[in-house]
């Protein structure tokens, strides 16, 4: 399941551009950009992006394992990635995530902040286009996979947009929100479509739904006990233009990312240790970690803790350190 062809890079600009663009549709981007938006720009924008992102990605991942369309053959294409090669191709979840995040950010901010409409539209289009093109350049998807993913994401955005405010209000105020935010994603993860061989799609889906679940519980708690979202602007500094504000934003970001990464490491080790003791397997046993009864709880608990930490613990730490 690795690269089947050797290759020589002849254009380093395209190579690094599209390798970087591909990373904009992966965990490294999600775990930095989404928290950054929550800590430094606007809580409401971050909430909407996380909800859209989790719904779009779940539908995309499940669609892959239902349709079972293969990825491009190598040869003739040269595949520059190995991890996702075990997944099916249609639709491209990189294209779906890039479209969902860029355009939901644009739609959520265009009425709240003053910036040229055309500039925001072009930025969202360029961002999503770069990620889509990166999937072709790296040999991981066909043109149809990419177009299909972008179109599915666009349709979901149009369907969900009229309900944005209603969903947001329910997530913040419903007494059932914390319970449903945990139970529904867990049920979806345990009932994920079964495949004849192991694919990282179930684990990735669990990671996404877990992070969204933890963040959603954090949103609810903050609204109930910290700063109600509809009445307080104290935690919403807006777009960063002033130098001093930029320094504080960077400080909040680096402190927050450090805490988030530490949480991920601690919870991953702890949960795997408990599961390893319960099911009698060494923590480094990759095959055991791929089993349903291990993969789902370890990834869900780990990343729900990450989501909760990013939305509750980190803002409290920011306030304690005088970074708000």
> What is the C-alpha to C-alpha distance for residues 229 and 219, in angstroms, rounded to an integer?
9
Q: Which residues contact 115 (CB under 8 A, 6 or more apart)?
A: 109, 239
141 is catalytic: yes
Question: What is the 8-class DSSP label of residue 195?
Answer: -
CA distances from 137 to 72, 149, 197, 249, 301 (A): 12, 16, 27, 34, 35
318 is catalytic: no
> What is the C-alpha to C-alpha distance for residues 9 and 20, in angstroms, rounded to an integer?
15
Using DSSP's 3-state secondary structure scheme, residue 40 falls into helix
Between CA 42 and CA 150, with CA 119 as vertex, the angle to 5 degrees is 80
Q: Count Cβ atoms below 10 Å from residue 188 Cβ, excluding itself.
A: 14
Tokens of 41: 């720009």
**List 43, 94, 169, 318, catalytic entry:** 94
**List 43, 141, 169, 318, catalytic entry:** 141
Residues annotated as part of the active site: 94, 141
């Amino acid at each position: 399941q690795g690269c089947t062809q050797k290759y020589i890079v002849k254009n380093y600009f395209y190579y690094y551009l599209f390798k970087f663009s591909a990373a904009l549709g992966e965990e490294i981007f999600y775990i930095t950009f989404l928290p950054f938006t929550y800590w430094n720009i606007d809580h409401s924008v971050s909430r909407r992006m996380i909800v859209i992102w989790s719904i779009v990605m779940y539908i995309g991942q499940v669609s892959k394992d239902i349709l079972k369309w293969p990825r491009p053959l190598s040869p003739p294409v040269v595949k520059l990635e190995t991890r996702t090669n075990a997944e099916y191709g249609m639709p491209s979840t990189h294209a779906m995530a890039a479209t969902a995040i860029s355009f939901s950010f644009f739609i959520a901010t265009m009425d709240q902040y003053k910036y040229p409409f055309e500039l925001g539209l072009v930025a969202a289009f360029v961002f999503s286009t770069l990620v889509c093109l990166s999937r072709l350049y790296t040999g991981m998807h066909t043109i149809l996979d990419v177009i299909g993913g972008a179109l599915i994401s666009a349709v979901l955005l149009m369907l969900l947009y009229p309900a944005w405010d209603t969903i947001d209000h329910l997530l913040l105020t419903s007494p059932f929100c914390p319970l449903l935010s945990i139970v529904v994603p867990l049920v979806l993860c345990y009932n994920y479509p079964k495949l004849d061989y192991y694919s990282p799609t179930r684990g990735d889906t669990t990671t996404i739904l877990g992070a969204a679940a933890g963040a959603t519980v954090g949103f609810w708690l903050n609204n109930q006990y910290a700063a109600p979202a509809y009445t307080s602007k104290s935690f919403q500094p807006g777009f960063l233009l002033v130098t001093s504000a930029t320094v504080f934003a960077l400080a909040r970001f680096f402190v927050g990312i450090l805490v988030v990464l530490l949480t991920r490491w601690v919870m991953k080790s702890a949960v795997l240790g408990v599961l390893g003791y319960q099911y009698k397997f060494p923590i480094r046993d990759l095959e055991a970690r791929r089993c349903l009864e291990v993969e789902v709880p370890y990834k869900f608990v780990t990343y729900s803790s990450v989501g909760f930490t990013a939305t509750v613990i980190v803002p409290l730490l920011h306030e304690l350190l005088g970074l708000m």
